């Protein structure tokens, strides 16, 4: 059901306040062909109401001739900022960038963040943004989970469906996504609510079973039956199952890049206002699927790049898979038990 401009403006003001926007600071709103008009209009009003100096930077789409989907995460090649030094300079000169376009997994984004500019991504439908407007409690919950990841040396994931995955940790940082940007150089995504890291390069091993009802992204589909991934030395060396496995293999093979099969980020969802079932209520082109990525107690793993965590592996292919009913343990201590978060800070 749609939300009013008033509701979305109030949500924007809450997020901007949490992001420590001050009067006189410069905000650049980054837009593209798929930017939601209500999200843009309300962001413009909210930022100006709070006394910011506001600019809009509209950039043309790229990769359309290469991607097999209109989803912004379906092809992580060049971005509209690639080689665009004037646009990069404008964003680096901003205190805050509101990304209503989807700029991810790019050296340009890293360069902008390194300058101290904050970047907040917000591309989900307005009603999803309002429902999952972040709070300080979200932040504390996610940071507590990230602290547990930071102190661990192994993540083990098991499930009754047959998952048994071991991921040595410590090479890459723990990352907390809670939906606002309250420190210089921080990137986050509204809405979100999960903690993650990356396994040590080349060391993840075991088996992942994507069970019926688990979700594939960017396909934005619920699996109809089990898909089994054999993981060896950090890569999925086999993807077996029925039609879902065939579709996944065919899609990944289209990139012609062995790095697409590497285990990327691993972690779990902590957002109690996100729901597993929401994806089935939306047209595929209407959402990135953040409910699926963030719902409380999922085990979210990815295939593809690790440069977002500071690694050197890049690939245009990026697959996110939130699994239900898994048990996640850090150094033998359960943080998720059969799809439910456990622990005092959880």
Give the tens place of pLDDT for each residue, 265-304.
999 999 999 999 999 999 988 999 999 999 999 999 999 9
- The residue-averaged pLDDT of 7-15 equals 98
Give the tens place of pLDDT for each residue, 99-144.
999 887 788 888 999 999 999 999 999 999 999 999 999 999 999 9
DSSP string, 233-300: TTEEEEEEESHHHHHHHHHHHTT--GGGGBEEEEEEE-BTT--GGGGGGS-GGG---HHHHHBTT-EE
Give the tens place of pLDDT for each residue, 213-224.
999 999 999 999
pLDDT of residue 319: 96
For residue 135, which of 91, 191, 201, 96 has the smallest C-alpha distance? 191
What is the CB neighbour count within 10 angstroms for residue 107? 12
Higher pLDDT pick, 1 / 299: 299
Q: How many Cα atoms occupy the beta-carbon half-sphere of 266 within 13 Å?
A: 27
Query: Per this entry, what is the length of the chain?
Result: 346
Alpha helices (runs of H) in the chain, residue ranges in sequence order: 5-18, 37-49, 85-92, 107-114, 126-131, 136-150, 243-253, 290-294
3-state class of 91 per DSSP? Answer: helix
Name the CATH superfamily, with its identifier, for domain 5-131: Thermophilic metalloprotease (M29) (3.40.1830.10)
Which sequence spans correspond to the domains of the chain?
Answer: 5-131, 136-341
């Amino acid at each position: 059901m749609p939300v009013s401009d008033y509701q979305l403006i109030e949500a924007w003001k809450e997020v901007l306040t949490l992001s420590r926007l001050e009067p006189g600071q410069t905000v650049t709103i980054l837009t593209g062909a798929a930017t939601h008009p209500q999200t843009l209009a309300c962001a413009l009003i909210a930022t100006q109401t709070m006394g910011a100096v506001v600019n809009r930077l509209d950039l043309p789409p790229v990769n359309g001739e290469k991607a097999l989907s209109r989803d912004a995460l379906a092809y992580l090649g060049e971005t509209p900022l690639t080689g665009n030094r004037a646009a990069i300079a404008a964003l680096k000169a901003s205190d805050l960038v509101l990304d209503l376009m989807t700029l991810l997994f790019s050296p340009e984004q890293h360069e902008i963040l390194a300058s101290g500019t904050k970047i907040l991504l917000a591309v989900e439908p307005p009603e999803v943004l309002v429902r999952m407007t972040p709070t300080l409690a979200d932040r504390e919950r996610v940071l507590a989970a990230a602290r547990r990841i930071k102190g661990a040396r192994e993540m083990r994931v098991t499930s009754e469906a047959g998952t048994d995955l071991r991921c040595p940790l410590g090479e890459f940082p723990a990352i907390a996504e809670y939906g606002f940007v309250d420190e210089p150089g921080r990137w986050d995504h509204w809405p979100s609510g999960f903690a993650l890291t990356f396994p040590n390069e080349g060391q993840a091993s075991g088996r992942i079973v994507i069970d019926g009802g688990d979700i594939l992204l960017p396909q934005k589909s619920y699996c109809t039956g089990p898909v089994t991934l054999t993981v060896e030395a950090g890569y999925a060396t086999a993807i077996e199952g029925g039609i879902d496995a065939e579709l996944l293999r065919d899609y990944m093979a289209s990139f012609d890049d062995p790095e697409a099969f590497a285990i990327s980020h691993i972690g779990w969802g902590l957002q109690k206002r996100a729901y597993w079932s929401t994806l089935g209520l939306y047209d595929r082109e209407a959402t990135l699927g953040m409910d699926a990525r963030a719902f409380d107690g999922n085990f979210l793993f990815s295939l593809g790049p690790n440069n977002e965590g500071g690694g050197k592996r890049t690939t245009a292919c990026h697959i996110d898979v939130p699994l239900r009913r898994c048990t996640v343990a850090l150094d033998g201590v359960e943080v998720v038990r059969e799809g439910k978060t456990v622990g005092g800070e959880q």
